[in-house]
A = this chain, B = another copy of it.
Amino acid sequence: MEVRVGGNQYGKAEVRMVAVDREGPRHEFCDLNVGITLSGDLDEVHLSGDNANVVPTDTQKNTVFAFAKEAPVGEIEEFALRLGRHFVASSDPIRRARVHIESAGWQRIAVDGTPHAHAFVKSSDEVRTATAVCEAEAEWVLCGLQNLVVLKTTGSEFSGYIKDRYTTLQETTDRILSTSVTARWRHAGVSGDWPASFEAVRAVMLERFASLNSLSLQQTLYAMAKGAIETRPEIVEVRLSMPNRHHFVVDLEPFGLSNDGEIFRVEDRPYGLIEASILAAGAPAAGPAWDPYPLL
């Protein structure tokens, strides 16, 4: 049986870096988690263990730290592009670099009402993400966020679905809807006002989640993605992954109590999981922007 190497990639995952800007008395800092994935002319390392085409993952890690010193980190999209371009440009066998960055949010601690110069409190476990995919001839940027947890106490229905012999779910015109949003959106280009774009997308997704009377989580997902695309013409595709965090009305009748949508138990597992890609008309082909990440 002959055997061959198919798609493959390797890199350093979860490089945790804090970079402090100490210019002036008022410090700024960024708190990043950087992952790098390289692919290219790498068959031989699989076949014979010849590492001649391999940039060690240790070097990839060093590069993250050195690059953060050689120039200010700046926007995470730009930093991801700088890193990705470097790996493709500096090593011939590397044909594609994917750099994924997660950025944690912090805010200044208030002391006597004044934001402190160098003391911070983590604002949330929500993270902002950026992914740059770089080849010699083409580049792609995906922006995103994860751990954005939202909940509506009403304004959500679910009915009109297929019934079969295994159906027990009751239709409802009023339920809690809650999810933890993971979003990635693809830009048409690789430049722009990244923070403004991010803030606008996040805001409109929250607004659509809140405003839409939801007939299904899919409808909510679509409305959120559509809002992003309509608001920011630089965005050509939005992919969302939204687990349905089920809140069940507790049966209080055994205790002689009514429960008109007031008391809910929250279940961790199982959960619904809704995923979709929503595209702008005429969106350019995605190329390798999404794929093959990950392989499993």
Contacts and interface: CB of A to CB of B under 8 A. Distances in A.
Contacts of A7: 276-277
A133 to B, nearest CB: 14
25 contacts: A4-B281, A5-B222, A5-B279, A6-B276, A9-B276, A12-B272, A12-B273, A16-B267, A17-B264, A18-B266, A22-B261, A29-B151, A42-B218, A46-B222, A47-B219, A51-B161, A52-B162, A54-B162, A58-B169, A62-B168, A63-B166, A119-B206, A121-B149, A168-B254, A267-B269
Q: Is chain A's binding surface mostly helix, strand, loop or mixed?
A: mixed
A210 B111 contact: yes
A221 B49 CA distance: 10
Contacts of A69: 252, 255, 257-259, 262-263
A225 B3 contact: yes
A75 interface: no
A69 B99 CA distance: 40
Given A47-B222, A166-B63, A275-B295, A153 B20 contact: yes
Interface string A33-63: 0010100001001111111111111110111
Contact of A276 (B57, B184, B295): B295
A66 B252 contact: yes
Contacts of A229: 1, 3
A165 B255 contact: yes
